[in-house]
Chain A
Amino acid sequence: MHSALVRVQNVFGFFTTVAFVVATVIALSVVVTPQAPSASVKLKNVQVVRGRPHYYSTKREEYAHIKFDLDTDLTSLFSWNTKQVFLYLTATYPSLDPREPPSQAIIWDAVLPSLSEPLHHNQYIHPAKNGKASKGKKSPYPPGEIHLAAQRPKYQITDISGKIQNRTDVVLELGWNVQPWVGALRWANYEDFGVWKGMSGGKSGVFSFPEIKKRKEADLKTEKGGEGNRGKPA
Chain B
Amino acid sequence: LLDCARHHANGGQDFEGQHLAELVTTVLLGVSGIIAFLVGYVQQDIYQTLWIGLGGTALTFIAVVPSWSFYTKNPVAWLPPHNATSGLRIDVDGNQVG
Measuring CB to CB, which residues of chain A are less than 8 angstroms from any residue of chain B? 1-5, 7-8, 10-11, 14-15, 18-19, 21-22, 25-26, 29, 79-81, 116, 181
Contacts and interface: CB of A to CB of B under 8 A. Distances in A.
Interface string B58-72: 001100111100000
A56 to B, nearest CB: 48
Contact of B25 (A10, A19, A81, A116): A10
Contact of A14 (B29, B41, B49, B66): B29
Given A11-B61, A11-B65, A4 B33 contact: no
Contacts of A4: 8-11, 65-67
A67 to B, nearest CB: 37
Contacts of A26: 37, 40, 46, 49
A11 B60 contact: yes
A80 B45 CA distance: 6
A15 B66 CA distance: 18
A15 B60 contact: yes
A185 to B, nearest CB: 16
Interface residues of B, number: 32
Interface residue SS majority, chain A: helix
A8 B31 CA distance: 19
Given A8-B65, A80-B46, 4 more contacts: A1-B21, A10-B25, A18-B29, A22-B53
A2 B18 contact: yes
Contacts of A7: 21, 25, 64-65
Nearest to B24: A11
Interface of B: 8-11, 13, 18-19, 21-22, 25-26, 29-30, 32-33, 36-37, 40-41, 44-47, 49, 53, 57, 60-61, 64-67
Contacts of A19: 33, 53
A15 B41 CA distance: 20
Given A10-B22, A15-B57, A80 B29 contact: no
A225 B25 CA distance: 58
A8 B61 contact: yes
A1 B9 contact: no
A81 B46 contact: yes
B60 A80 contact: no
Given A10-B22, A80-B46, A3 B41 contact: no
